[in-house]
Chain A
Amino acid sequence: MSTPASIWRQHKKLSSYLNKIGRLLVWTKIHVAPSGFEHQTPYLVGIVQFANGEKKPLQIVDCVEENLKINQKVVTVIRKIGKAKSEDVIEYGLKVKPI
């Protein structure tokens, strides 16, 4: 899945996404997760559009679903991605939280 080298390449891209504000176009609450994400259920994932027009699929954290609105303003945060196995390198990545 995620090799040390692929995590390394990915981490290099993160600094350019810090403090980016976007709007939440649509989201879903996932109850049945793929492997590595079971400990998070249920969790929210949505599509966020940033000021430059770019759209990304991102997990939404630190929020209560009832308080989310379409076009909700969100900001990028860095969190752990999935659950690394004991011997694996930890992957950090982008998520968003509502502001």
Chain B
Amino acid sequence: MRIKVAGTGLTKFGELWNKDLLDLALEASVEAINDSRLTIHQIDAVFVANMIYGKVSGQDHLGALIASTLGIKGASFRIEGACASGGLAVHLAIQSLLAGTYKNILVVGAEKMTDSSATEIATALMGAGSQDERRAGLTFPALYALMAKAHMQKFGTTRNHMASVAIKNHYHASLNEKAQYPFEISEEKVLESPVISSPFTLFDASPITDGAGAVVLSSDSTAPGVFITGSAVATDTVDLASRKSLLEIAATKEASQKALKQAAVEIKDINVAEVHDCFTIAEILAMEDLGFCPKGMGGEFVYKGHTRLGSKLPINTSGGLKACGHPVAATGVKQIIEIAHQLQKRAGKRQVDNANIGLTHNVGGSGATVVVHVLQI
């Protein structure tokens, strides 16, 4: 496939009191449409990604709401797959373009989280888990903490290994004016912060964030640009306990293998990637499950600096979910934007030299949905 990323738009990520969900979605959308040089009338469909807005505000029907406010009268949809909503929206838009149904699609992922209390958000996010997990009083930090514990037990992964993910991503975020936390942090900060669910402290977890990201995708591949050449989704059990193994996110392997095959590239050809670091262990698992390093070696791989800007394989130059922020459904779209900018040499201070093949990895829940995209210039 060759689907063009014709335009991108991204709001600041953070605690944005003056903006509601519609404001954020519109801001990103207008920027993306302008960036694409297309007119409103050329946008055939709007795919909106959002996870919890209906629950916290009572407003559903977001596809129609956002499209009509933009003046778009074509097709509109809302897509939900927990934290993979953004990636799923991109994937589905691509399918419509490949089918020839639409020519130009606006995909916008938006989330407004900071109006609600932390407890309300933690509870709402557990909608991405199973009923049994909710009954057990689990939270998302706790679910990933269980995976971290298993990884530590089996492979000797340490809290320091995990902390290095947060430290690296904060460094990257310090170079990103859109990031929620554009500052560096120390290892002590990560290790000494309050424990939220053992072994995780506050700094092992991605924050609560408002934000929106939008891309205009086009099936017109005549002009040069950045193209999505692989797009795949894989599914696993929602309930973590029901997975075959706690030591991997099997759906990551499935989806990435499919996407790489579509793009006719191998994992070793990828020179920049945005992966789903909802918690520090998640990035370590991603390094292993995507195939950047052997299973069990992810901790060392990150700790040794092999994925920091300046190394051979910079991961999460945006700052990742941890430091750029994680407005849930916006993340998958933001990842596409970051890689597109890297390939187009629009990444400013975060620019990776010679980036020409990139990958995005977006996960829903504790690994029940994984979406992987491959982008090439």
How far in angstroms is the closest Cβ of chain B from A58? 6
Q: Tell me the residues in window 298-348 of chain B with beta carbons closer than 8 Å to chain A beta carbons.
A: none
State the A residues within 8 Å of B (CB): 25-38, 40, 43, 45-48, 55-59, 70, 81-82, 91, 93, 95
How far in angstroms is the closest Cβ of chain A from B43? 39
Nearest residue (CB) in B for A48 is B241
Task: Tell whether, in the assembled complex, residue B142 and residue A30 are in contact, meaning their CB atoms are under 8 Å apart.
Answer: yes
Task: Tell whether, in the assembled complex, residue B242 and residue A33 are in contact, meaning their CB atoms are under 8 Å apart.
Answer: no
1/0 per residue B155-181: CB within 8 Å of A? 000000000000000000000000000
> CB within 8 A of A56: which of B118, B132, B139, B198?
B132
> CB within 8 A of B146: which of A28, A43, A91?
A28
State whether the Cβ of B10 lies closer than 8 Å to any Cβ in chain A: no
Task: Tell whether, in the assembled complex, residue B149 and residue A30 are in contact, meaning their CB atoms are under 8 Å apart.
Answer: no
B residues within 8 A CB of A95?
A: 136
> CB within 8 A of B198: which of A28, A40, A48, A82?
A28
Assuming A27-B146, A30-B142, A45-B142, is B137 touching A40 (CB within 8 A)? yes
Cα–Cα, bound, A97→B133 (Å): 17
Cα–Cα, bound, A46→B317 (Å): 34
B residues within 8 A CB of A55?
A: 241-242
Interface-centre pick from A38, A45, A70, A95 (highest chain B CB count, 10 A): A45
Task: Tell whether, in the assembled complex, residue B119 and residue A25 are in contact, meaning their CB atoms are under 8 Å apart.
Answer: no
Task: Tell whether, in the assembled complex, residue B139 and residue A47 are in contact, meaning their CB atoms are under 8 Å apart.
Answer: no
> CB within 8 A of B120: which of A31, A35, A56, A82?
A35
Cα–Cα, bound, A91→B241 (Å): 22
Cα–Cα, bound, A57→B123 (Å): 17
A residues within 8 A CB of B141?
A: 30, 32
Task: Tell whether, in the assembled complex, residue B197 and residue A47 are in contact, meaning their CB atoms are under 8 Å apart.
Answer: no
A residues within 8 A CB of B54?
A: none
B residues within 8 A CB of A45?
A: 136-138, 142, 146
* A-B pairs, 8 with minimum CB distance: A28-B145, A55-B241, A37-B137, A29-B198, A34-B123, A57-B136, A32-B196, A26-B149
Q: Tell me the residues in window 91-141 of chain B with beta carbons closer than 8 Å to chain A beta carbons.
A: 118-120, 122-123, 126, 130, 132-139, 141
State whether the Cβ of B194 lies closer than 8 Å to any Cβ in chain A: yes
1/0 per residue B12-40: CB within 8 Å of A? 00000000000000000000000000000
State whether the Cβ of B363 lies closer than 8 Å to any Cβ in chain A: no
Interface-centre pick from A30, A34, A36, A56 (highest chain B CB count, 10 A): A34
Extra contacts besides A29-B197, A45-B136 (14): CB < 8 Å: A28-B145, A29-B195, A32-B122, A33-B122, A34-B137, A34-B138, A35-B123, A36-B123, A38-B119, A40-B137, A47-B241, A48-B241, A55-B242, A81-B135
How far in angstroms is the closest Cβ of chain A from B190? 16
Assuming A31-B197, A32-B196, A38-B119, is B149 touching A59 (CB within 8 A)? no
Task: Tell whether, in the assembled complex, residue A27 and residue B197 are in contact, meaning their CB atoms are under 8 Å apart.
Answer: no
State whether the Cβ of B236 lies closer than 8 Å to any Cβ in chain A: no
State whether the Cβ of B240 lies closer than 8 Å to any Cβ in chain A: yes
Cα–Cα, bound, A56→B246 (Å): 13
How far in angstroms is the closest Cβ of chain B from A63? 14
State whether the Cβ of B153 lies closer than 8 Å to any Cβ in chain A: yes
Nearest residue (CB) in B for A38 is B119
